[in-house]
Structure 1
Amino acid sequence: MVAVGLFTSILIALELGRLVWRWQVASGREPETTGVGVVASAIFALLGLLIAFTFSGAASRFDMRRTLIIQEANDIGTAYLRLDLLPQPARGELQEIFRQYLDARLDAYRSVPDRKRVEAALKRSDELRERLWTRSVLESQRTASTAATMLLLPALNTAFDTASTRLASTKEHPPGVIFGMLFALCWVGALFAGYGMASRGPRNWFHALFFVASLTVTLSVIVDLEFPRLGLIRVDAFDEMLQEVRNGLR
């Protein structure tokens, strides 16, 4: 839907530029050529700079989110294994809580874009995390060995910190004004492009559609990288690592 909206709006801007040129000709005015070329060049130079900036940032954040998924899977696997340091029956009870915690985490990520389900799953995971931590601290203090305190608790803390960092990374985006400038420059650039193309004779649909499609694809890729659970470019495949960890928790 985003791509369709972008394609349509940029095509409309292109046609508006052509209509402005035709209106000037029809009204007997001499269409501007030299000044338009200078302004259009400046706009497209600025547009190229902004596209490079937003694309680079979106790609970096996309890679970071994938890395955090792998890190969370590793940290959860390590923390779960450290529960073996506790005696029964506490070990079995905590392992069950841990499995429920991971199920809630997986459900939260798979519920996007349903905000209510995501919030409910995250709330459930927070409650299970508190239970898991409180009980782990209590059982570690009860054991005669210090291994649980020295190895289990830091592993749990690391797993929880990674989960929090991963959640924060999903909310890390450029300010809205950056996207506003990017889209606005695309539309203004299309307006000037349509004006310039009109001065060169009959409409060339191949050039027009190629120009619009190029901008649309570029902007769509940037948006997909920035929101990798809503578009075509996704990080869902990396969630399988968490699922594999969950399948191994017995």
Structure 2
Amino acid sequence: MTSPSDKRASGNPAKQAQIDLTVKQQREQKRQEKLAEYQKQVARRKRGKLVWWVVGSTAALAVVGLVVASFAFAPAPPPSYQAGNSTGLEIDGVQSFDNRSDHVQGTVTYDQTPPAGGPHNPMWLNCGVYTEPQQNENAVHALEHGAIWITYDPERVDQAGIDALKAVMPSSYALLSPYPGMDTPIAVSAWDHQLKVDSADDPRIAEFFTEYWRSQNAPEPNAPCSGGVNGPGRA
């Protein structure tokens, strides 16, 4: 009985050499096959890492892009003014008055158009942006609390102008509403003070806010500008 090793042996030296060569070739072939398979595995791992790197990098760039876009396209915060910052600044075109501040019922005939103070309704108009004309008597009460009221003639101020007026408004104690029939495109009113301008881009509007917003010279400077009444067209 012969062993497996005997089958590979041959008494013929030439035949034996051929057998030995075949065994070596088979071993080399297996080695090459293992090496090729290993290289394929390495290549697959590299491709996988590359794909994940590309995906990760793309996702990271997308996140960065979203963050940048959120800052770039976010609406600008409303401007801020110092409450009670009345310094006596001389603003060209500002008119000053001496109005009563009593509470009354019914309609009031005011000395100014729009009014910049005077007798008014016991309920104040809540501050904010309105797309429709407001009741004078309620808006004047908001002026009594230190608010500033921007009014515009809708026939002479377009949407771009309205947006420019919104941009100068602080987040509180400010009113914006149309006021048909004014003798000027835009009027900015605080208690006993008023500025009339032709353009929403007039820098004096911001100066007016700086000087008169929440002025301590208003009859009730620390009273609220919310909790009153909402007029029609509250935005």
Structure with greater proportional helix content: 1
Return the index of the structure with the highest Cα Rg: 2
TM-score by structure 1 length? 0.26
TM-score by structure 2 length? 0.27
Structure with greater proportional strand content: 2
